[in-house]
Chain A
């Protein structure tokens, strides 16, 4: 569907019109950023060190999950709508495995996340199943299984090892450091390894990647495995922070992660984007949420604004992509 669109764009407008349109788009982006900064600075208690810490702490958890989603999106599998249920299910496993000690519990959580998400990735990679509809089904299945096994009750930790994840070295949550390390690791994998380059190619043009002999199915499945591991890390931190876990542990994480990835400017069509962009997107979304919270808006308004930001960025990224290819 997008191929004819690009051709149309390339054929119709002249070069000068194109560049003028680009200037307008850039102007809109700059104005939007300036408006956000002005609103932020005029908000009481926004520009304080304590608030900055609050923003990066809340960006931490969403950011790690969003890094996982970045792998999925760059590989051309659009988005997973099963992030929150996966995080909830893995968080429940993590807390109930606490009696074994922190490291074995983390290993179990990682294994769980990798298996749950990897199975979906294998289906998407090898059969080219529609990832959005498949993950909707998966989210339902995961929640159903979690309720069936737990009986719908909250899981309490069976040990206290998890508390080490709540450490705040230097006054900043441990998850923030983990996010930064993981973002650099994912960025390095995407830029410097054969896997990363294949992933960009597959995301940009799946048939061409297949024709070039790239292992499309395997690469996609591996990207989802990585995403599953990152969801599991998010789950461990979220569960440790809440000290109990039920099927609602994920909350609005699915939407938050999608918002972070898309707000960072990663194209949902695949083949473009980076881990560092997602990092910026996560901070942006956390910052906007924080402004709305400080100004006393409800959760509903916060979610609505996230949706509108995603819509705005999707339109802008699409227009810019068209411009650069014309």
Chain B
């Protein structure tokens, strides 16, 4: 990997984030009295399994230049359907969740691509509606899942560090990475996120790809909810905003930009692993819950500010002005690189 490639944000950010958190995690015994065991590594992968698919779902839509707020709604609904339809056999629950996720993605993608609606208000409305639907399905109560053997199976230890749940999540990340790097979908996804009109002119089937992205996002979030319900043995109708915050922070740390056109599944994997390691560090260090909350809010806030386009162009202008004193401004400096 050349130094130039390493300098790109979608490579640099996840590498740096994962590197820093792995170091902080490995050095944990040095600054707390807690020792590290293989269980802590297992636990980190469990946290990864809890939120990984949500981050992947959100990240894929962000690469395409959209923002799917409804992922948490689908996540909650998927979990609830799994519990309510899967009491007989877990496969029915899984099927119901995946079907619902695909249907939600199809409707949203169809509206956004077909009517050229902005994704934020559509997915916000769906998010509200899905939270309501989940709450209506369960009467606002947490529902328990009675099939204990499934609950035991998804979380049993495999190869010391993993569980079937974290392996499934990891497998889906690898699948997404392989599909997006071997087919032209990966390039096209970044193209429609970067400049939609240009990619349409270049022959990318923008609408179909957008619908596909939203279906993938719906299915992944619903699956994430299913796995969580299997693991907890219950489903909560209102997951709150924490999953959304963590998923957004993971996607942004993973080198995806809010303006779209940047990022890949392996970067997302790096981002979510960094967040999972941070969560585990905070847990091992036994900080109060609200400190963790402030910590993640601060993290997301900082990333959003760094990602903000006007800050970028202001910095670029500043640099150009400084450089203009000595030599001609470089072409890169002369055009602030944002499309808003």
Chain A interface (Cβ within 8 Å of chain B)?
1-2, 4-5, 8-9, 78-79, 81, 123, 126-130, 132-134, 136-141, 143-145, 147-148, 206-207, 255, 258-259, 262, 268-269, 297-308, 310-311, 314-315, 318-319
We find that the number of chain B residues with CB closer than 8 angstroms to chain A is 58
Please state if A1 and B118 are interface contacts (CB–CB under 8 Å). Answer: yes
Residue of B117, B128, B196, B289 near A315 (CB, 8 A) is B117
Q: Which residue of A lies closest to B73 (CB)?
A: A307
State whether A133 and B300 are in contact (beta carbons under 8 Å apart), knowing that A143-B293, A262-B121 are contacts in the complex.
yes
Q: Once bound together, how far apart are the Cα atoms of A298 and B258, in whole Å?
A: 36
B304 contacts A144, C-beta separation under 8 Å: no
Given A5-B116, A127-B310, A300-B140: A314 and B125 interface contact (C-beta under 8 Å): yes
Partner of A134 from B117, B137, B237, B301 at Cβ < 8 Å: B301
| B106-139 to A contact mask, C-beta < 8 Å, 1/0 | 0000010001111011101111111111111111
Q: Select the stretch in B15-23, B85-93, B161-169, B239-247 that faces chain A.
A: B239-247
* A130 in contact with B258 (CB, 8 Å): yes
Known contacts: A139-B241, A300-B140, A315-B111. The answer to whether A132 contacts B120 by CB under 8 A is: yes
Inter-chain contact B300/A301, CB cutoff 8 Å: no
The answer to whether B116 and A2 have CB atoms under 8 Å apart is: yes
Q: Told that A308-B125, A311-B125 touch, could you supply 12 new A-B pairs with CB distance under 8 A?
A: A2-B118, A4-B196, A123-B308, A127-B308, A128-B340, A299-B135, A304-B135, A307-B126, A307-B128, A310-B125, A314-B117, A315-B122
In the bound complex, residues from chain A placing their C-beta under 8 Å from that of B126 are 307, 311
Q: Establish whether residues B136 and A300, one from each chain, have CB atoms under 8 Å apart when the complex forms.
A: yes
Shortest CB distance A224–B (Å): 15
Q: Given the complex, which residues of A lie within 8 Å of B124, measured CB to CB?
A: 79, 132, 258, 310
Q: How far is the CB of A179 from chain B (nearest CB, A)?
A: 22
Task: Determine the chain A residues whose CB is within 8 A of the CB of B340 once the complex forms.
Answer: 128, 206-207
From the candidates A5, A141, A307, name the one contacting B127 in the complex (CB within 8 A): A307
Assembly CA distance A5 to B207 (angstroms): 12
* B291 at the binding interface (Cβ < 8 Å): yes
Which of B69, B132, B291 meets A303, CB within 8 Å?
A: B132
Is B26 part of the binding interface, using a Cβ–Cβ cutoff of 8 Å? no
Is the beta-carbon distance between A311 and B301 smaller than 8 angstroms? no
Determine whether the beta carbon of A137 is less than 8 Å from that of B304: yes
Most A CB within 10 A of own CB, among B69, B132, B133: B132
Q: Is the CB of B241 within 8 A of A136?
A: yes
- Distance A299 CA – B252 CA, assembled complex (angstroms): 34
Interface of B is mostly: helix
| B252 contacts across to A, CB distance below 8 A | 133
Given contacts A298-B136, A308-B129, contact A319 B307 (CB under 8 A): no
A-B contact pairs, 5 of them (CB 8 A): A129-B308, A130-B304, A269-B118, A304-B136, A307-B130
Contact of A138 with B67 at beta-carbon distance under 8 Å, contacts A81-B241, A206-B340, A300-B140 already known = no
- Which chain B residues lie closer than 8 Å to A307 at the CB level? 125-132
Contact: B296 with A318, CB < 8 Å? no
Task: Give the 3 A-B residue pairs with the shortest CB-CB distance, closest first.
Answer: A307-B129, A304-B132, A300-B135
> Chain A nearest CB: distance from B125 CB in Å?
4
Q: Report the Cα distance A2→B54, complex, angstroms.
A: 26
B297 pairs with A141, CB closer than 8 A: yes
CA distance A288 to B302 in the complex (A): 40
> Chain A residues with Cβ under 8 A from B196's Cβ?
1, 4
> Within the complex, what minimum Cβ distance (angstroms) separates A72 from chain B?
13
**Across the interface, which residues of A come within 8 angstroms of B135, CB to CB?**
298-300, 303-304
Q: Is B233 an interface residue (CB 8 A)?
A: no
Task: Determine if A144 and B129 form an interchain contact, defined as CB atoms under 8 angstroms apart.
Answer: no
Contacts of A268 in B (CB 8 A): 118, 120-121
B residues less than 8 Å from A139 (CB atoms): 241
Q: Known: A128-B340, A304-B132, A304-B133. Is A141-B139 also a contact (CB below 8 A)? A: no
Complex-state Cα separation, A116 to B176, whole angstroms: 40
Is B65 a contact of A1 with CB atoms below 8 Å? yes
B324 CB to closest chain A CB (Å) equals 21
Interface assignment of B197: CB less than 8 Å from any CB of chain A: yes
Instruction: Check if A133 sits within 8 Å of B258, measured CB to CB.
Output: yes
* Minimum distance in angstroms from B180 CB to a CB of chain A: 21
Chain B residue at smallest Cβ distance from A258: B124
CB-CB under 8 A from A299, the residues of chain B are 132, 135, 140
- Contacting pair B291 A148 (CB below 8 A): yes
A270 to chain B, nearest CB (A): 11
Expressed in whole angstroms, the Cα–Cα distance for A133 and B311 within the complex equals 16
Q: Is B309 an interface residue (CB 8 A)?
A: yes
Q: Contacts A137-B245, A148-B291, A255-B128 hold; do A129 and B305 have CB atoms under 8 A apart?
A: yes
- Alpha-carbon gap, A303 to B241, bound state (A): 16
Known: A300-B133, A304-B132. A314 touches B293 (CB 8 A): no
Q: Which residues of B (159-209) have their CB < 8 Å from a CB of A?
A: 196-197, 200
